[in-house]
């Protein structure tokens, strides 16, 4: 079962990354995407080696951002690939059928291609401007999500779609009304002093219309 809340890790050092991930897990996140850009393979491996048992302890999904070799070596639950990273179908061949593969998208056509190539979930964005990511695609806003989700419906394409990019707590309910599955966030959790409270509030909004 996919979590409706994904935490994308932040931190310039192994220590900072580990601290932030531990805090997010402790606060109630159960899906971590380890995003440790522009690092040596050795440092990325050292971090992943520490994050994997941590995610297992909290029964959280452990996804590696854009590092196929590391995903396989460390036996992570899956990988998230950006628009300019390895192609989804190539990653599927390399990792096999059981791994989760997420793909970044900015348009309906992006999603169409990802689904055709065996993607499991979509990170659709950006919702608004964010400093977390370099080379930002065109901003979607609420209307952008609504339009794309309607096209997916019309074309009978069913895949979990996560909104991403500068999302705040007050954005969650209106975003969910567009038909998205969940959200992927980074800074809002990393920079929050009361992580547990915030994560609880986010989850309440994300799961508000779920009938148990």
Residue 174: count of CB within 10 angstroms of its CB = 12
Domain assignment of residue 212, yes or no: no
Contacts of 134 (CB under 8 A, 6+ apart): none
Span 103-147, pLDDT tens digits: 999 999 999 999 999 999 999 999 998 766 666 788 999 999 999
The pLDDT of residue 212: 45
Compute the distance between CA of residue 59 and CA of residue 54 in angstroms, rounded to an integer. 8
Q: Give the per-residue pLDDT at 130.
A: 72
Extract the tokens encoding 94: 């390399």
Tell me which residue of 3, 28, 30 sits closest to 201, measured CA to CA. 28
Whether 96 is in a domain gets the answer yes
Which CATH number is 30's domain given? 3.20.20.70
Tell me how far apart the 2 most distant CA atoms of the chain are, in Å.
46
Indicate the pairing of strand 100-105 with strand 78-81.
Answer: parallel
CA distances from 79 to 92, 161, 163 (A): 10, 16, 17
Helix (H) or strand (E) holding 15: helix 14-27
Q: Has residue 182 been placed in a domain?
A: yes
Residue 211 falls inside a structural domain: no
How many structural domains does the chain have? 1
pLDDT at 210: 62
Whether 80 is in a domain gets the answer yes
Model pLDDT for residues 23-78, shown as the tens digit of each residue: 999 999 999 999 999 999 999 999 999 999 999 999 999 999 999 999 999 999 99
Find out whether 161 and 183 touch, Cβ atoms under 8 Å. no
Question: What is the C-alpha end-to-end distance of the chain, expressed in Å?
Answer: 14
Identify whether 131 is part of a domain: yes
Report the predicted TM-score, pTM, of the whole model to 2 decimal places: 0.95
Supply the range of the domain harboring residue 141: 5-206
Instruction: Report yes or no on 151 lying in a domain.
Output: yes
Between strands 31-34 and 5-8, the pairing is parallel
Tell me the CA distances in angstroms from 182 to 3, 35, 144, 165, one per residue in order.
Answer: 8, 19, 16, 12
The DSSP element (H or E) to which 123 belongs, if any, is strand 121-124
- 81 part of a folded domain: yes
Q: Could you tell me if 183 and 202 are in contact, meaning their C-beta atoms sit under 8 angstroms apart?
A: yes
Q: What is the pLDDT of residue 141?
A: 95
pLDDT of 204 strictly over 70: yes
Query: What's the rounded mean pLDDT across residues 174-197?
Result: 97
CA distance 164 to 155: 23
The three-class DSSP label of residue 129 is coil
Cis amide prior to 126 (ω within 30 degrees): yes
Quote the pLDDT of residue 70: 97
């Amino acid at each position: 079962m996919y979590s409706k809340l994904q935490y994308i890790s932040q931190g310039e050092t192994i220590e900072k990354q580990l601290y932030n991930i531990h805090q997010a897990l402790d606060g109630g996140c159960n899906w971590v995407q380890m995003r440790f850009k522009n690092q040596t393979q050795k440092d990325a491996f050292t971090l992943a080696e520490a994050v994997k048992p941590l995610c297992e302890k909290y029964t959280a999904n452990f996804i590696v951002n854009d590092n196929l070799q590391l995903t396989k070596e460390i036996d992570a639950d899956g990988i998230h690939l950006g628009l300019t990273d390895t192609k989804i179908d190539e990653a599927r061949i390399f990792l096999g059928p059981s791994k989760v593969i997420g793909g970044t998208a900015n348009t309906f056509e992006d999603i169409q291609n990802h689904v055709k190539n065996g993607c499991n979930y979509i990170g659709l964005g950006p919702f608004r401007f964010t400093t977390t990511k370099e080379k930002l695609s065109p901003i979607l806003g609420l209307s952008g999500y609504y339009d794309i989700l309607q096209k997916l419906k019309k074309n009978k394409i069913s895949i979990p779609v996560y909104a991403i990019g500068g999302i705040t707590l007050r954005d969650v309910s209106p975003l969910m009304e567009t038909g998205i599955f969940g959200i992927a966030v980074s800074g809002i959790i990393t920079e929050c002093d009361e992580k547990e409270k915030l994560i609880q509030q986010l989850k309440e909004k994300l799961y508000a219309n779920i009938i148990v």
